[in-house]
Structures are given as structure tokens and as C-alpha cells.
Amino acid sequence: MVERIAYDEFGLFAENAAEFGLPYPGPPTVRRVSVEVTGGRRVSALVWGERPAELVLVHGGAQNAHTWDTVAMALGRPLVAVDLPTHGHSDDAGPLADGELRVDSLAADVAIAVRALAPEARAVVGMSLGGMTSICLADQAPDLVRKLVLVDVTPGVNAEKAKAITDFVNGPATFADFDAILARTIEHNPTRTVSSLRRGILHNAIQLEDGSWVWRHQRFSRPDAGSGGTRQARPRADQAVLWDRLGAVTAPVMLVRGMRPQSVVDDADEAELLRRLPGARVEHVAEAGHSVQGDTPVELAALIETFVFG
């Protein structure tokens, strides 16, 4: 008999609070919604709170909106956390001739979702792929990006810098059981606690009928898409174009950079950001790697709070 692991999408918040020492008067007000985008596809999102959203949070590649749960709880503000197309509970990104996701198309879908769910948000916070998408969002729809927070990403991030991450993402297509997917996740995420990684898997993977597990983003794998059949999400404009787009952002910008070896941002990236945007704010988080929202969510929430709301 196959052992089924119970999963309640909104039943893990008490664990988030306990792990990071946050007060927990009871479950936060969170609901899942979806917005129709081009081609009849739907982008899913988590809406936190009942008042108009003050923030938009955009996750990284192979993640989902729940990566922000502890940050959202620490902030205590109404916000929207988006599932990028092909990720989380969102639909596929639609047909692409080359089998790759493009940040421009992701940004176009996110723009529709933000206009529907958070048109007056004070800032957009994007981590990794979500940060690159947010740069393109600022280019396509500057009225939606009043302030921009980039979490451990700049256009200078390349395949070499991100190799450890892509090696993890391009791993096995399925896992025989939960212990197998947890073991691989622990191996590739040395800065995270086992309890947080377990929660992350429950939010970001699906148990199949035979008891095996598959990442949610691999639901949309294509046999001709390269490594493991998984559609690759990468910026299909060259770095110069993306740097130019970031340099043209008129909204205030903050880069939050993890300083542990797992970070993908280096000193040259930071220097180029400041050359193009001399007024940008840069914050170093000593105990975070690439996943600042997972490693040090309370510290990240405090940085967002002061930058966006003063």
C-alpha cells in the first residue's frame, strides 16, 4: 500500500512562526486566487490580508509563492505572492518554439496579475528569476513598480554563477518517496534547516498515485526541452540589454545580497549596479546564501519594511 503524506496548504504557518520566533496569535488570513492571462491560461497567487495589497512578491526559478510565507508573516502587511507561469499552481507558459521560458513573457503575465490583484502596491520584490522578471516588469509597466527590491540577483548572473542551482533543478525527474526528495534537497541547501526544507517540499512538490514525488514545475516538462525534459527559465535577452533595462528604472531600487558562498551575486555585479544606478541601496546579509527569504526571512522582512515604508 502506498503511504500518502497529508498536505494542508494553509496548515503549516504555525511551524514557520515557531522556527523563526514570530508571534502566532492564529492562522493568518491567506487565500489562493487566480487571474486569467493571455491564451486563457491562469496565473495563481496567494493574497495575504483583506486590505489592498501593499507589496508584490515574485519567487525564483523552480520555487513558488510559499517561499515567501515567513517573510509575509514577519511583515504583517497585505500583499500578493505570485506563482510564476509553470510554477506552483499556475498554468503553463504556453507554446514556445525553443522550449524555453523568457522573462519578457513571464513579466507580461505578471503584469496582468498585478493589475488585477495589487495595482497600488508600493513595491515589487523579486528573487532570482523573479527579480529578472521584475526588471522586465518595470520596463513593460513602470506604473506598477513604484519601488523595486532585487533579492540576490542582477543581470550579471550567468550560467557559471548559477551552476549549483541549475544542477539541483535539473536533477531527477521523479523521486521514489518523500525521503528521497528530502535527502536531495538537504544536500543542495546547506544553509536551510531540515524543517524549512520539508515545508518547502510539501508546498513545491506533488505526490503521484504510485507514491513517487515530482516537483510542481516539472509538471510542464517537454521531451525536447533539454536537461531532464524540464523547461528552462532563463533571460533570453543578452546581459547588456537587461542591464540597460535595470539602468533605466526610475523607481528606487534596493539589492539585497546574500554573503554566504551560495549567493550568485558577486562584487562586480554590485559595482555595475551602482555604476548604473548610483542612488540604489545595497544591503549585505551575512548569514544568507542565494535564498535570502529562506535563510534569513525576518531580516529580509525588516529590510523591505524600512526601504518601502520608511
- Distance, in Å, from the CA atom of 63 to the CA atom of 65, rounded to the nearest integer, reads 7
Placement of cell 496565473 in the chain? 43
281: amino acid identity, one letter? R
How many angstroms separate the first and last alpha carbons of the chain?
55
To the nearest 10 degrees (0 to 180), the angle between helices 129-140 and 239-247 is 60
Catalytic residue, chosen from 152, 217, 269, 291, is 152
In the residue annotation, 290 being an active-site residue is answered as yes
H helical segments located in 8-102: 13-19, 69-75
Catalytic residue, chosen from 44, 90, 128, 196, is 128
Q: Among candidates 305, 251, 306, 309, which has minimal Cα distance to 280?
A: 251
Please report, for residues 32, 149, 308, the alpha-carbon distance to residue 145 in angstroms, rounded to integers and kept in the order given.
Answer: 23, 10, 12
- Distance, in Å, from the CA atom of 140 to the CA atom of 134, rounded to the nearest integer, reads 10
Catalytic residue, chosen from 90, 290, 291, 295, is 290
Burial of 261 (C-beta count, 10 Å sphere; 0-12/13-18/19+): exposed
Q: Among candidates 40, 67, 265, which has minimal Cα distance to 150?
A: 265
Sign of CA dihedral 51, 55, 57, 58: positive
In the residue annotation, 83 being an active-site residue is answered as no
Please report, for residues 161, 191, 233, 270, the alpha-carbon distance to residue 266 in angstroms, rounded to integers and kept in the order given.
Answer: 9, 18, 21, 7
- Distance, in Å, from the CA atom of 75 to the CA atom of 36, rounded to the nearest integer, reads 28
Q: Among candidates 200, 171, 4, which has minimal Cα distance to 87?
A: 200
In the residue annotation, 128 being an active-site residue is answered as yes
Active site residues: 128, 152, 290
